[in-house]
Amino acid sequence: MARMVAVTMARVMLVILAVLAGAPFARAADAPVRIVALGDSLTAGYGLPAQAAFPVRLEAALRGKGLAVEVANAGVSGDTTSGGLERLDWSVPEGTDAVILELGANDALRGVEPAVTRASLDTILHRLAERRIAVLLAGMRAPPNMGADYVGSFDAIFPQLAAAHDVVFYPFFLDGVAADRALNQGDGLHPTSQGVDLIVTHILPKAEELVARVKARRAP
């Protein structure tokens, strides 16, 4: 009888130890996916209440899909790709699982040489890859008045880098919103809250794909 009790207790202890050993993995798998939206005024929410900014609205949409996420707003109005590169380390802190990279609009508006924009984005993507951070690259398009050569060179940057780095890619961040007066503020450049909601609706499947990549990496 004593031996049976001892064997039973030993088995119970083994089960407890196994559960405890697996607990960190379970906690890691179930932890919210921490996303940083690294961008310019389109991410920051220029001219909008804080709760109407893209990161806030995207987090709500993802949570509405049943996904445990936290989306931090690392948008800086007026920022270029070079500026994003300079602040990358402090804008994307340790513990970040994924980044939505939305930069380039100000490069195009200022006529920055496309090679400079490409180099900055390429370096950002390399550094995030080294940190094993999943990325959703949001593409941007140059204004037509920049000329055909500039537009062609600039617009090609994003799909080419997305393919080279094998990141989730959304071709045009302002798809369905750009040039629509009803969805933009008075400056014609920054979306209204309705415009932001449309951006979120369009980009949501790609954001879900981003979260899925993070979860796949967490799997034991």
Query: How many Cβ atoms from other residues are within 10 Å of residue 122's Cβ?
Result: 17
Active site residue 187: yes
Answer yes or no: are the C-beta atoms of 151 and 157 closer than 8 Å. Answer: no
> Given this model, what pLDDT does residue 30 score?
78
For residue 35, the cross-strand partners are 71, 98
pTM score: 0.87
Query: Catalytic residue at 41?
Result: yes
Phi, psi of 128 (to 5 degrees): -70, -35
Active site residue 122: no
What are φ and ψ of residue 102, in 5° steps?
Answer: -125, 85
Asked if the model's pLDDT at residue 177 lies above 90, the reply is yes
Q: What is the spatial distance between Cα 153 and Cα 117, in angstroms, rounded to a whole number? A: 10
Residues with Cβ < 8 Å from 209, sequence gap 6 or more? Answer: 136, 168
**pLDDT grade for 59, boundaries at 50, 70 and 90:** very high
CA dist., res. 33 & res. 12, Å (int): 34
Q: Which CATH class is domain 32-218?
A: alpha beta
Residue 26: what pLDDT?
Answer: 45
Active-site residue (options: 82, 97, 190, 197): 190
**Residue 201, pLDDT above cutoff 80:** yes
Catalytic residue among 41, 82, 91, 120: 41
- Looking at residue 5, its pLDDT comes to 42
